[in-house]
Amino acid sequence: MMNLLSFAKGALAMFWLVALLNLFYPFATPLGGWVNWAALLVLLAHVGELLLFRTRLQGLPGQWWQRLQVLLFGMLHLQHLR
C-alpha cells in the first residue's frame, strides 16, 4: 500500500510540475487550457480537503508544512497521517 501511495504522490507532484511549467511556457491550444483547468479543479478540491480536515491537522509538528502537503497532495497526504 505504501508503494502505491508513494507512486501516486510522485505522479501528482509531476502533474503540479507540468501545471507550473504551463504557466511560464504555455502549451499549445487546447492542451494548455485543459492543464490550467485541471490544476484549478485539483487545487480547489485540495483547499476543500484542507478546510474539511483542519482539526486533524491542528497540533501536529510542522503544521504549516503539513498544510502545504495537503494543498499539494490532498487525501494522499491525509492517508499518511492516520
Radius of gyration, alpha carbons of the chain: 14
* DSSP-assigned states of every residue in the chain: -HHHHHHHHHHHHHHHHHHHHHHHSPPSTTHHHHHHHHHHHHHHHHHHHHHHTHHHHTT-TTHHHHHHHHHHHTHHHHHHT-
pLDDT digits over 6-46, tens only? 999 999 999 999 999 999 999 999 999 999 999 999 999 99
Whose cell is 507532484? That residue is: 13
* CB-facing half-sphere around the CA of 10: CA atoms within 13 A: 6
pLDDT digits over 34-43, tens only? 999 999 999 9
